[in-house]
Structure 1
């Protein structure tokens, strides 16, 4: 009977909760695994393509409630998290960043910061020792927090004249500090992008800076000869996509979005007219994904909502839209959700 019920559950989060009921349920309902594991697990995964593979927008509400929203179908799902006993959880936490299914939750100025996977309920408490994260808008990670290669970078403007970059090698628990003058590079408050072993970050004027982390030394530089690709904008993001570094610029007065690719041979920006079968997700955490659902490709998804629908920009129509009735959205009527981010689900 349990096997029959499991076959008719078509929501991936409900399915995972069903399996978590007890040992009998776990034995009767096979786990969701990656596509490459086996033919049986692939057929199981295909039932949940929409939610098991597609990035979701997650935001944190009061009373430990995480809400997940599918960018195309909506499918809003509220999940009340019963955090593990014995852990000190702060209900005023904000979502700082996501990486490979993990969320970094931070309560600024309250000495609380923890990695948490809302899909598996795993916890990595206090990964930064005594270093408190202050700027949750400008934080980047190289790998999953479970990886021995994981490096984090926090950029923080500490005074009117200087910005500091805190570089943390997570497994070694080594913390490094870089300080530079704002007149050389005025920081734009977005998350850096990790690309080809380097952290890239943008200035307010669109100039590109680089932090290189090796076991021998930590260094940073400004790519002086690289011209800013866009002179007029109110928002910008960096994203790695298909092996390339992309910059995304939202133009002033909601006049559209431009995407540029860094040509690393000539060190010049080239405008991108189409993302082909890729899609970009931008906000506190920015990344790309291959569209596995028809109609989602060649679009940029923001942490903004029009009503209850996710807002995206189509490079084909050159307009802001939602998937509800394929309507064109008045950008000035959208709402940005600050305590949320895009996340790539990981079920194991």
Structure 2
């Protein structure tokens, strides 16, 4: 095998293969550090692309027609060639190997996304001549599901058995594909229902009940069966990843909150989706689900423990080579030349770190040089009575002694409310709702500090955040019946609203404690499209039908109140207004029927906010390389580009777009994102309209620009939003 060294690899890294099918070369690289990569040619991969990996064997098919299939063991270099596969339908096959080829009863099988058939070949040593057999499973699945049109997807192996999924809208089940070998020739395949596909929340995806917005993968290891759901907030960006592992004792899916040393790799880029699993990687690179997007250039890395998605690009060598296929393999490369060099480098680079004196001493704030805590506790308690909000939370988080001086208080008591009239923060906080652990995290974008509270029992479950305003959240969930609530996380005040059909977007006009709070929701599904609830009155929903005048109903996003009027983006094309809304009537007008032309080279995202009685529109491309702000001229109903927000600042997330007056000079003329630096989760990312670059704060000091795009940053999965602290 011809080999060209580019950089010496490290042992602890997981290796990926990028295949250039035109030049028959492969690039081996590490996903966590692009400096480790090299290019070589593997003879066994000549004219073939990697399709899957089972039981130590790599599944290969020829490019581009997938007629010739083979199995390759990279440790023994053994290659098994199957006879040509003649197929009339589109090849788009998914494959599975039931057992190692040298075991009795081993079967290699293929499924397709278009025809309800299984094509299989028996492989064990008793078979002298391999052949393909095609079996239709239409009748079996019809009997099992009671519906027509079901197809098997994502076949995999676990505990010596083969499983697959059927993901029809009326039947979502994991199917046991029971393979029985009779005698020397006959193979009988029987389908049996095994367990339901785990529930995942669809209500934060663009189209409810459009299952194409969530891709499901079934993947097995030696003893574990996993189900992975990848949720797209649009056609390209990943909003959430759901991880489940099956408990074979209770036959229930358990949510995975920590992958530990394991990781997955999902590929969309080669015209079909594949999923790989590795359970023995180094802890420094484990714990991730790596997702290669359809463009083949961007890798989304979901970290299961902190529920963030990092963006990184493929190594430049891979992009310049115009690679056509990728793969992650469980086997490790054994290259003596590289490993010996790496061992020498490690010996030369040995560094011994000795702890300083006192490093092992338990922290006690009373041992610090600061003499604040030398004050008698009753005096300290009097001082803390004059501290509120975030300062109070910071002090309590210091140590047990501080918690004695600053006990937990009810923020809604009268004495506290009087003090809160004069209290305000410099910036909204980034709020992350972790339904898995039942924790709400607040992140200060200026200093990077974090604060935690538990989710109230009444809101535990699969609640999603749909709107944030006045320090309140509008939350909604579908599981267990549609439920909607207004929630102030700072006062723990919850206002439940009557049940309502699924709505795509919401806004509300005032704090729910106000007598004139009105909640407005929009949907494109069903006969009713606008829903209104007056919170202080008798709890009920009033609804209206919109006459769209065509077959395609409108989707409304980022509705916002401007006074008593509601403005909303529709279909990312223009702005509609809804005025004089009452229980029985409203006025519906087209403000503008087009969005401004932008310089986005990739798919644009639109965010609308109200600012000083004016409408602002922020347009951003997928990777944040183009960020533009437009202001609506109401007299001409045209969007005018602006390069300066002045004293204003904008906070955007998938569910909110807030425009506020900056309370300190360094905060203004900036757009804040729900993102942090990949290597430092305390650094919130913002875009400066003055420099046209991305920066972060270091305790109110603006750091130098780190990038012109959002690569090497990470965002929090839904649900999250920006929230203005309010104790009212």
TM-score normalised by length of structure 1: 0.79
Q: Is the partner of 2:523 in helix, strand or coil?
A: strand
CA displacement at 1:342 relative to structure 2? 0.7
* 1:333 equivalent in alignment to 2:701: no
CA displacement at 1:166 relative to structure 2? 2.4
Q: Is the partner of 2:382 in helix, strand or coil?
A: helix
Contact 2:500 2:541 in 1 (8 A): no
CA displacement at 1:209 relative to structure 2? 1.4
Q: Give the corresponding residue for 1:66.
A: 440
Cα 1:30–1:219 change in 2 (3 A) is closer
* 1:201 equivalent in alignment to 2:568: yes
Q: Is the partner of 1:336 in helix, strand or coil?
A: strand
User: Which sections of structure 2, spanning at least 5 residues, go unmatched?
Assistant: 1-377, 397-402
* 1:92 equivalent in alignment to 2:466: no
1:133-160, CA deviations, whole angstroms, 9 ceiling, x for partnerless residues? 443xx2212222222322222222327x
* 1:106 equivalent in alignment to 2:480: no
633, 636, 639: which is aligned to 1:269? 639
CA displacement at 1:278 relative to structure 2? 1.1
Q: Is the partner of 1:332 in helix, strand or coil?
A: coil
Cα 1:22–1:68 change in 2 (3 A) is closer
Q: Mean alpha-carbon deviation: is it higher for 240-249 or for 164-173?
A: 164-173
TM-score normalised by length of structure 2: 0.40
Superposition pairs of residues 133-212 of structure 1, within 5 angstroms: 133-135=502-504, 138-158=505-525, 164-172=529-537, 173-181=540-548, 187=554, 190-212=557-579
Contact 2:662 2:668 in 1 (8 A): yes
Coordinate RMSD, CA, aligned: 3.2
Q: Mean alpha-carbon deviation: is it higher for 180-189 or for 93-102?
A: 180-189
Q: How many aligned positions are there?
A: 321
Distance (Å, rounded) in 2 between the aligned partners of 1:11 and 1:55? 15
Q: Mean alpha-carbon deviation: is it higher for 315-324 or for 326-335?
A: 326-335
Contact 2:694 2:706 in 1 (8 A): yes
CA displacement at 1:319 relative to structure 2? 1.8
Cα 1:244–1:184 change in 2 (3 A) is farther
Q: Is the partner of 1:181 in helix, strand or coil?
A: coil
Distance (Å, rounded) in 2 between the aligned partners of 1:209 and 1:287? 19
* 1:243 equivalent in alignment to 2:613: yes
Between structure 1 and structure 2, the one with the greater Rg is 2
Distance (Å, rounded) in 1 between the aligned partners of 2:414 and 2:508? 36
CA displacement at 1:266 relative to structure 2? 2.4
Contact 2:502 2:523 in 1 (8 A): no
488, 504, 509: which is aligned to 1:117? 488
Contact 1:109 1:132 in 2 (8 A): no
* 1:131 equivalent in alignment to 2:500: yes
Distance (Å, rounded) in 2 between the aligned partners of 1:217 and 1:310? 44
Distance (Å, rounded) in 1 between the aligned partners of 2:459 and 2:594? 45
Q: Is the partner of 2:666 in helix, strand or coil?
A: coil
Q: Is the partner of 1:331 in helix, strand or coil?
A: coil
Q: Higher relative contact order by CA 8 Å / sep ≥ 6: 1 or 2?
A: 1
Distance (Å, rounded) in 2 between the aligned partners of 1:203 and 1:133? 18
1, 11, 35: which is aligned to 2:391? 11
Cα 1:302–1:30 change in 2 (3 A) is closer
Q: Give the corresponding residue for 2:585.
A: 217
Cα 1:8–1:171 change in 2 (3 A) is closer
User: Which sections of structure 1, spanning at least 5 residues, go unmatched?
Assistant: 36-44
